[in-house]
Structure 1
């Protein structure tokens, strides 16, 4: 089994990309299981006030604890994936990863980044992703101005902040030795084609795909 994590800041087109991938006939036989973004279900499940995100500077501890809880959820899923049969031909495509939650704190509340990176759950999550790199692939989407649209749920999207988030995420993956594939293209069709090739090839080495 291989897990693909489609990562990036809010409102960069991840959900749109997944929707388009579901329409590709060449992927139909791969039995891809799409894992929806955990944050949305957690917000609904816990009845979290959306002001925690839209006015996060005035709700710093709540924002921190929410993202830490996300880390724990993704840690549980990563551990379960590791326990699954590695010889299985199943593919999982995650809408975001636990490191996105870590990166939200590092980017938007940088004075709390040391605290977040020192959390046991974060350390265990990084260990899971690092030790499973033969079966885990990270795809990082760069923000493009034309894809930005505020969903009135998460943080208001501002391009400079989205770019900072993306650079921080790439640095976080690189520093922890977790391979990644960058997706900087503006054209949606090219994005879909590149990720389709990645899924079809089950490519987990983090190298750039040929155009």
Structure 2
């Protein structure tokens, strides 16, 4: 079982790339299995909008819930598909950790990192044979507020980006940094890295990605 995680700050084009890959890749002659963003699902379902990051207790609870739901989604996926399935996930387990580091008190991230299910997901990300992680660089023209995600300045997106890359480095999680802005070139980079990481995996692409 293989996992591709499309990570990074909000408003960088993760979901756009995730959707594009779902439509233009064939893995072993099948479309990849797509895992949607957990945080957006929870924020939308609970109708949480505007300034939730300013309430420290609420923000910590929200991100702990996201971590728990992320783990549950990954475990459900692991047990519901064939062992040769490739999943592409919109965001990954470290995203809530990065938000805790940015906006919550120090014990927020410390307590989260001690949770068993968080450590299970970190071990998944550390396994280069199983997981391939991408981090998308923020670009100012992509910045928009949709009343679901945190309303941030571009400087805050850059700070988040730095926190995520440093956290991955500290945890010995290898990742590919996507600096390109063109969607086609982003998808091509993902496909090329998949073929390089897993040479025995049959990756075919539509729309001249490769």
TM-score (norm 2): 0.81
Q: Using a 3 Å threshold, how does the CA distance of structure 1 residues 90 and 121 change in structure 2: closer, same or farther?
A: closer
2:153 counterpart residue number: 158
Q: SS where residue 92 of structure 1 aligns?
A: strand
- Structure 1: give runs of 5+ residues left out of the alignment: 205-210
Instruction: Pick closer, same or farther for the CA change 1:74–1:202 going to 2, 3 Å.
Output: farther
Q: Is the 8 A contact 2:7 2:133 kept in 1?
A: yes
Deviation string 1:4-46 (CA, Å, 9 cap, x unpaired) is 010001111111112332443666934201111011222234x
Residue 170 of structure 2 corresponds to 175
Q: Answer whether contact 1:117 1:123 (CA < 8 A) is retained.
A: yes
Matches within 5 A, 1:17-32: 17-24=17-24, 29-32=29-32
What's the RMSD between the two structures over aligned residues? 2.7
Using a 3 Å threshold, how does the CA distance of structure 1 residues 118 and 33 change in structure 2: closer, same or farther?
Answer: same
Aligned residues: 199
Please give the alpha-carbon distance, in whole angstroms, between the structure 2 residues aligned to 1:129 and 1:195.
16
Alignment of 1:124-203 (within 5 A): 124-130=120-126, 132-199=127-194, 201=195, 203=197
Q: Could you list the runs of 5+ residues in structure 2 that have no partner in the other structure?
A: 199-209
Picking from 67, 70, 74, the partner of 1:74 is 70
Q: TM-score, normalised by structure 1?
A: 0.81
Secondary structure class of the residue paired with 1:29: coil
